Structure 1
Amino acid sequence: MHRILPWLIRHWVLSSAVLLLACGALGYSLAAPPPPREVRIAVGTAPDSAYTLAAEAYARRLEETAFRVRRVPTQGSVENLAMLRAREVDLALVQGGIADPARDAGLVSLGAVFHEPAWIFLRAEAGIGRVSDLRGRRVAIGPEGSGTRVLALALLAANDIGPLEIEALPITGTAAAEAMLAGAADAAILVSARTAGAVATLMRAAPAVRLVDVADSADAYGVHLPFLSAVRLPRGGLSLAADQPEQSVTLLAPVASVLAHQDIHPQVVSLLVGIMQEVHRPRTLFSAEGSFPNALAQDLPMNADAERYYARGRTVLQRWLPFWVAVWVERLFFVLLPVIGLAVPLIRFGPTLYAWQMEGRVWRHYDTLRRIEAEAEQARGDDARAALRERLEALEGRVARLSLPLTYRRHVFALRRDIAYVRAQLAPTRRPGGIEQA
């Protein structure tokens, strides 16, 4: 170490450059890798479904930000979850109450985005008054693997009706509406955030088809199925002109959430949550403006970066710079931070170290001069004193050859004066009669 430190100081520029490069490499290793250029999104096959429309809105905005988006068609929430677990997609919308924290470990939520009401329609001719009367009836509950089927079976189970106690019709949407109107189904349970399509068709079929109002039992359903919340469909909410519905109706609704893998890139999370806010912030039939997206009532853990975004908003860089520019500026910051942290003291103490180095080239010759002076005090013979004078001449020669900036030449002149002083002590003296005496 006693040799390394002087070398580092003498070669200050080189050692500083090496240290700065090492710090830059450390910062680069600590910086998160850049976001992937491609994002795979699960997109529903029904073109007018809320899931499809939302996923398409995300995809378009991601493409506007120079991402490549691959749309992967799926049949619904259950398949979306399976594809997320298999890493066949990166993002998917999933109906509340479908995900399981144990089974779906490794997945996280980026936030709830909209209510998905359960529309329970009963055919008036069937003489059914409530959900608990559906035992033994023909009920359209959606195909296997659909979120509609999962929620329909949960609602029936809450009324002590098992899946084998009904005639389950694996249809939903338009097919379920047609079966109801044709008398092929006694009831249909639809899960939809949109009021167009099958919901509108069955609402127009009143009084032959009746929408169940759960106002009296909404709290009880919330106890048995905590992922459900009550939403209100106001009178005339579907059509003021047709007065549909003729009175306000309370529905049960899970929330749809955007799910991703827990290792999703933090900057992609920030971008996605911002996109979700653009898409879902406006007022809807079942939510006030600004209600969604949010971090409430999630089946799976919330992504930490998404939570920070909801609390603080976008970073300053992403607020003022294009996404990819902000990404590289943030990465550059991580690289430069340790470099700047080291460069500042190096720059501050650099002149001092440089002066110490220049002066040290002179000061180290004082050790030789001090030894010569100490030996001169002990020298008694002519030969010894002559040898010391020769060493002084050699020392002065080395000092004279020192190449130093003009600012530091004064130290050389001071050293040469000191050499002259020691030389004077070793000068031969004259004996009486004019003979020199060493």
Structure 2
Amino acid sequence: MSFLDQLAFGPGGDRKAWARGLLIALAVLALAGGLLYYTVSGDYAFLRASILTGGPTGAYHALGERLAARALKKNGHLKVVATAGSIENIARLVSESGRCVPAFAFVQDGLPTPADAGLVTLGRLPQPETLFLMARRGRAINTFNDLKGDSVGIGPEGSGTTYLMQQLLENSDLADLDLKPSNHELEAQAGLVHDGQLDLAAFVVNENAEIVRALANKYDLEIVAPADIEGLVARDKWLHLGRIPAGYYDITKPIPATDKLVAQVDTLVMTNACVHRAERVAFLMLLSEEFPNFVRMNPPPSAKSQDSAPLADEAREFFASGEPELADKYFPWLVNLMSPAYWIYLAMAATILLNAVGAYSRFRLWRIDANRGILEARLRALAHPGLTAPQIKAPAAPGLTREQIKALPPEAVIQTPEDRKAAEELMRDFDALRRRCEDQLKSLVTPMGREMYYRYQEWLIDESKAALAALLRQPKQ
């Protein structure tokens, strides 16, 4: 019976073995299905984080609500958290009661962020915030010099409005105007301006926020736009110039009475190190769904806050392609462990390693086959004394077949003690080669599926040993 016949009909090839193989295959498929069920995702079920917005009546709190609703449609969960503003948002991103809480936040550009806190920027919102300076209707303010010695409400303490106004008052020519800043809630300072207790009120809000129209109408305020505001804005890279058209908030009064140039500042989207790659990409996807021009408006060309909170790698890749990578969208658990680029490098390294292991295994198998050929040549030379030395070294040296060698009478081959000694040494060499083959068969570097080649070599060695054992039989006396 040939070697292949033994594989087909021997103990390892019976029906029970086939049944066991089928059961193992089914178990592997079931395991693979379970892994795919828990690792492959087409929704936001993995998204669990908070959104730090601002006041509960503000535009950014409403935006947070809309993003949370979008996420919920795809099984994501975003908790909208109302805060006092950008300063509080940054403080919460850094630490919340000593715990690292996964969160996103809307942060006014230009605010300081701790450089070692692990905060990163995901982009900017398409609609910037506007610095509104509001005074009583009829108050003539043509340049900043007309505000000399005036009292100015700069918003609640710790707010983004306060920080921006302090920067402008302290780091520009406005410091020479002897302005008197004080902190107040937004509506409270509007009332103080109306009552004459303040000369000017500052607000940093979205230009579409309802609070602008409400305060202007309720307290009869006018938007102030000094002619030299353009020079002031040009000094800071995180500020830029905007325009509010006449009658934008009320046509009948109108509010404003004429077109107004205003300072504007970007709103950045930030997150902390507790938010993993998949969650960051999911939030970018939500923003791009909410704002069709979100990708086109990003990344931020210049942002002071990015000096200490750099643009996240995930955001840079997202803006370059305009969409998430396949792994980010369907394998969030994997990309949270490692970036898709590194998975590619890992796959390449694994491929190279497997190819190297396969080449090494083939080399070892070749050496076994070559050594077996040399030993069989020695066997043929022992059974056919007429062979020359060069013929002995050739693996395909001519001579008798194994079956013919087995049929030879021992006394015709093993005629002297030297012949028996050579035969015994050859048997020991065959045994050593057989053990070497067994060891390599069990080796970790032997690729799965190549066992048959080693078993074939074992079978050839065993056949040669059987032929040699027939020669070593003691002749009958």
- Taking structure 1 as the reference length, the TM-score comes to 0.66
Residue 299 of structure 2: aligned partner:
294
Give yes or no for contact 2:89–2:105 (8 Å, CA) kept in 1: yes
Does residue 185 in structure 1 map to residue 190 in structure 2?
Answer: no
Residue 109 of structure 1: aligned partner:
121
Query: Is the partner of 1:160 in helix, strand or coil?
Result: helix
- CA–CA distance in structure 1, aligned partners of residues 331 and 367 of structure 2: 48
- CA–CA distance in structure 2, aligned partners of residues 340 and 255 of structure 1: 46
- CA–CA distance in structure 2, aligned partners of residues 268 and 213 of structure 1: 42
Structure 1 residues 39-438: aligned runs within 5 Å? 39-44=49-54, 46-64=55-73, 66-86=75-95, 87=100, 90-99=103-112, 106-113=118-125, 114-124=127-137, 128-157=141-170, 158-161=172-175, 165-166=179-180, 168-172=182-186, 174-204=187-217, 208-214=220-226, 216-238=227-249, 244-261=255-272, 265-281=276-292, 292-299=297-304, 300=306, 301-317=310-326, 321=330, 336-344=347-355, 346=357, 353-354=364-365, 356-358=367-369, 360-361=371-372, 363-364=374-375, 386-394=416-424, 405=456, 409=460
Q: Render the CA deviation track for 1:117-162: whole Å, top value 9, x for unaligned.
A: 1011111466655444334434221111001111223333434347
Unpaired segments ≥5 residues, structure 2: 1-44, 390-413, 435-453, 473-477
Residue 397 of structure 2: aligned partner:
none
Give yes or no for contact 1:112–1:256 (8 Å, CA) kept in 2: yes
- CA–CA distance in structure 2, aligned partners of residues 37 and 167 of structure 1: 43
Give yes or no for contact 1:42–1:89 (8 Å, CA) kept in 2: no
- CA–CA distance in structure 2, aligned partners of residues 415 and 254 of structure 1: 90
Q: Which moved more, 1:108-117 or 1:300-309?
A: 300-309
Please report how far the alpha carbon of residue 257 of structure 1 lies from its aligned counterpart in structure 2 after TM superposition: 0.5
Query: Is the partner of 1:155 in helix, strand or coil?
Result: helix
Give yes or no for contact 1:135–1:166 (8 Å, CA) kept in 2: no
Residue 406 of structure 2: aligned partner:
none
Please report how far the alpha carbon of residue 170 of structure 1 lies from its aligned counterpart in structure 2 after TM superposition: 1.6
Distance change >3 Å, CA 399–CA 81, structure 1 → 2: closer
> Percent same amino acid at aligned positions?
20
Please report how far the alpha carbon of residue 244 of structure 1 lies from its aligned counterpart in structure 2 after TM superposition: 4.3
Give yes or no for contact 1:77–1:147 (8 Å, CA) kept in 2: yes
Please report how far the alpha carbon of residue 199 of structure 1 lies from its aligned counterpart in structure 2 after TM superposition: 0.8
Distance change >3 Å, CA 185–CA 312, structure 1 → 2: same
Please report how far the alpha carbon of residue 38 of structure 1 lies from its aligned counterpart in structure 2 after TM superposition: 3.6
CA RMSD of aligned residues (A): 4.8
Distance change >3 Å, CA 406–CA 326, structure 1 → 2: closer
Q: Render the CA deviation track for 1:12-38: whole Å, top value 9, x for unaligned.
A: xxxxxxxxxxxxxxxxxxxxxxx9864
Distance change >3 Å, CA 340–CA 239, structure 1 → 2: farther
- CA–CA distance in structure 2, aligned partners of residues 188 and 202 of structure 1: 11
Give yes or no for contact 2:102–2:272 (8 Å, CA) kept in 1: no
Distance change >3 Å, CA 394–CA 104, structure 1 → 2: closer
Please report how far the alpha carbon of residue 297 of structure 1 lies from its aligned counterpart in structure 2 after TM superposition: 1.5
Letter in 2 for 1:212: V
Letter in 1 for 2:265: P
- CA–CA distance in structure 2, aligned partners of residues 319 and 186 of structure 1: 53
Letter in 2 for 1:81: I
Query: Is the partner of 1:237 in helix, strand or coil?
Result: coil
Query: Is the partner of 2:174 in helix, strand or coil?
Result: coil
Unpaired segments ≥5 residues, structure 1: 1-34, 283-288, 378-383, 424-438
Give yes or no for contact 1:203–1:209 (8 Å, CA) kept in 2: yes
Query: Is the partner of 2:52 in helix, strand or coil?
Result: strand
Residue 10 of structure 1: aligned partner:
none
- CA–CA distance in structure 2, aligned partners of residues 187 and 104 of structure 1: 38
Distance change >3 Å, CA 230–CA 99, structure 1 → 2: same
Q: Which moved more, 1:353-362 or 1:227-236?
A: 353-362
Query: Is the partner of 2:206 in helix, strand or coil?
Result: coil
Distance change >3 Å, CA 162–CA 103, structure 1 → 2: farther
Please report how far the alpha carbon of residue 221 of structure 1 lies from its aligned counterpart in structure 2 after TM superposition: 0.9
Please report how far the alpha carbon of residue 238 of structure 1 lies from its aligned counterpart in structure 2 after TM superposition: 3.5
Distance change >3 Å, CA 350–CA 358, structure 1 → 2: same
- CA–CA distance in structure 1, aligned partners of residues 74 and 345 of structure 2: 23
- CA–CA distance in structure 2, aligned partners of residues 324 and 400 of structure 1: 53
- CA–CA distance in structure 2, aligned partners of residues 395 and 290 of structure 1: 78
- Taking structure 2 as the reference length, the TM-score comes to 0.61
- CA–CA distance in structure 2, aligned partners of residues 290 and 333 of structure 1: 25
Letter in 2 for 1:80: N
- CA–CA distance in structure 1, aligned partners of residues 376 and 136 of structure 2: 109
Give yes or no for contact 1:58–1:275 (8 Å, CA) kept in 2: yes
Query: Is the partner of 1:247 in helix, strand or coil?
Result: coil
Distance change >3 Å, CA 75–CA 410, structure 1 → 2: closer
- CA–CA distance in structure 2, aligned partners of residues 186 and 273 of structure 1: 42
How many residues are matched?
Answer: 369
- CA–CA distance in structure 1, aligned partners of residues 93 and 329 of structure 2: 33
Please report how far the alpha carbon of residue 252 of structure 1 lies from its aligned counterpart in structure 2 after TM superposition: 0.4
- CA–CA distance in structure 1, aligned partners of residues 225 and 84 of structure 2: 28
Letter in 1 for 2:124: A
- CA–CA distance in structure 2, aligned partners of residues 198 and 183 of structure 1: 20
